[in-house]
Amino acid sequence: MTDFKSLGTQPISEAQPCGVDVRDDPDFELLQNEIAKLTNPAASGSPDWEQVVKLSSALLAGKGKDILVASYLTGALLITRGLAGLSDGAQALEGLLATHWEGLYPPVARLRARRNAIQWLIDRVRAHGDEHDWSSWPPQDAALVEGLRASLAGIDRVLAEKDDEAPSMQPLRALLGTVQVAEPEPEPVAVAEAVVENEPVAAPAAAPAPAPRPAPVAAPIAAPAIQADPLAPLAVDSSDGASHATDEALDRLAAIGTWYAQNEPSSALGFRLRRIGVWAGIERAPNAQGSDTQLPGPIAPLQDALRNLQSRAAHGDIVGFAETQVLTYPFWLDLNYAAATALAQLGDTWGAARREVCGETATFVARMEGIERLKFANGVPFANADTVQWLGSLASSGGDAGAAAAPDPLVAVLSRARALAADNDLRAAAQWLQDAIDKTAAVGARLRLRTALCDLLLEHRPGARLDAFARALVEEVDRYGVASWDPALTADALRAAYAILSRNDQNEAETAALLARIAPLDVGIAVRLIT
């Protein structure tokens, strides 16, 4: 029987502990063919996961230490052997990373490939959690759950030391937090036998009879059975111990927050615990080149799902979606804006929950200076334009959600228009904005809507003749003398007009005049337009 747990640490040979690169090995090709069945619509059937276990364990044991192969093995062990299999695989992966980091494959120069391998495992386990409700499983052995939790935390510790931008096991620890844990069985005590064994030896006739022995007290025997908390105390006697204890404590908070989401969804405490669980352990913003990070971002289906919920004004579903995904994507700040906006529409019962979202988000963003300007590796911004504006309102109110509690009515209009456009219904999006313009009396609000209309049309129909829309925008700015009472709004409106008109060389004089007007109002916008 294969000892999967030792596959990570056990060397291939003394001369070559990590063996050779297995990517050209015929067994690796067979392994990849099985895994490809997950995403290849032309493939017949699903992967043979037992074959995946067999091939990957053979490669790791006798040919080469490869992170991707270890990830494949761990995912397959979960599917074929359940939580115990995942624990074995996670322990093997932890040992592999801790023991062979410098020599394993892909080589250390290809960190992105290593991150992708880890991310594959995270996605596979999360997919399993989506397909099988872990919280509905029978209670699992406490030692098994704690061992798996420790292995996941160990993987994170190694990755944190070796690669600042590696993906985190936190989503898997949060998922593990939904698993029911069995209480330890009380040790059986043969009370009657103990009494008999301890009875005194018969005394001589002349001796007085011994006093009756009191009945054994049952409480000490039953005590183990009534201990509600099966979790071991967190030992803090070193830096590593403190780090491990912190990870476990935050995981538990996130898991408790998940329980509230499922059982008492309007509880403000649940919203607070979920954010403390995922944010409190983050010490700094991700490394970035300019605004670009290497963090895996939300995939397109998730983005589409959020837009779809917003377009339908499904406020309860928006909250549920956001609170689930924030555990996986702690830097996707749009989730918190979406949750706060939806909570504002759900009534007073949810008011305290909204204040928690606003307050915790404001604290996190203030601690991660400039985070709202960053992007994920797939180009998705941490915070879109609406979220950035919301974050600004939180900052200006000192994180006081009450001061920022009334949602901007235009935000919902603009979000709806963007959702319609994203669903390839630009005509409906434009009509939605035009109807809002017609119903709006305030000049500033109307100008914001016209600016948004120009931006939306240019984004989705860059080749269309849009000059008339740009000129109508400039005309409205001039008619009401907006520059004299709202320079920032004016600069943004003229920017949108410039972006359209500058696409036609015949408008050169007109765009030069616009640029001359923008520069005194906002030099940053002016520079961006010409660089």
Per-residue pLDDT averaged across 121-127, rounded?
90
Of 209-218, 295-304, 512-521, the one with minimum mean pLDDT is 209-218
Distance of CA 486 to the CA centre of its chain: 38
| Tens-place pLDDT, residues 267-294 | 999 999 999 999 998 888 888 888 888 8
pLDDT for residue 116 is more than 70: yes
Share of the chain above pLDDT 70, in %: 85
Higher-confidence residue: 117 or 393?
Answer: 117
CB atoms within 10 A of CB 506: 8
pLDDT for the residue numbered 186: 57
Higher-confidence residue: 421 or 219?
Answer: 421
Beta-bridge partner residues of 289: 292
Domain chopping of the chain, boundaries: 4-183, 263-284+294-396, 417-530
In sequence order, which residues have a C-beta less than 8 Å from that of residue 6 and are 6 or more positions away? 92, 95
In sequence order, which residues have a C-beta less than 8 Å from that of residue 407 and are 6 or more positions away? 340, 341, 344, 345
pLDDT for the residue numbered 344: 85
pLDDT for residue 226 is more than 50: no
**What is the chain's percent helix, strand, coil content, to nearest 5?**
65, 0, 35
SS3 66: strand
pLDDT for the residue numbered 187: 55
pLDDT for the residue numbered 404: 46
Per-residue pLDDT averaged across 17-24, rounded?
92
Q: For residue 107, name the pLDDT band (cuts at 50, 70, 90).
A: very high
Q: Name the nearest CA neighbour of 450 among 428, 476, 427, 426.
A: 476
Alpha-carbon gap, residue 93 to 166, rounded angstroms: 14
pLDDT for the residue numbered 184: 64
Question: Is the full-model pTM beyond 0.95?
Answer: no
Per-residue pLDDT averaged across 325-347, rounded?
89
User: What letter does residue 307 receive in the DSSP assignment?
Assistant: H
- Phi and psi (nearest 5°) for 23? -65, -25
Q: For residue 337, name the pLDDT band (cuts at 50, 70, 90).
A: very high
Which residue in this structure is represented by tokens 């989506």? 130
Task: DSSP for 311-363, please give it.
Answer: HTT-HHHHHHHHHHHTTT-TT-THHHHHHHHHHHHS-GGGHHHHHHHHHHHHH
In sequence order, which residues have a C-beta less than 8 Å from that of residue 390 and are 6 or more positions away? 337, 340, 341, 404, 411
pLDDT for residue 308 is more than 80: no
> Is-contact 368 285, C-beta < 8 A?
yes
Per-residue pLDDT averaged across 444-465, rounded?
87
Sign of CA dihedral 89, 93, 94, 95: positive
Instruction: Give me the helices (H) in 63-139, please.
Output: 67-100, 111-131
- How far CA 190 is from CA of 186, 187, 194, 195, 226, in Å, comes to 12, 10, 6, 9, 19
pLDDT for the residue numbered 487: 86
Higher-confidence residue: 306 or 78?
Answer: 78
Alpha-carbon gap, residue 182 to 229, rounded angstroms: 10
Of 194-203, 353-362, 380-389, 452-461, the one with minimum mean pLDDT is 194-203
Per-residue pLDDT averaged across 68-77, rounded?
95
Per-residue pLDDT averaged across 76-103, rounded?
94
Task: DSSP for 214-249, please give it.
Answer: PPPPSHHHHGGGG----PPP---SSHHHHHHHHHHH
Alpha-carbon gap, residue 253 to 129, rounded angstroms: 19
> Is-contact 503 470, C-beta < 8 A?
no
Per-residue pLDDT averaged across 494-512, rounded?
92
pLDDT for the residue numbered 1: 55
Quick one: which H or E segment has residue 172? helix 170-176
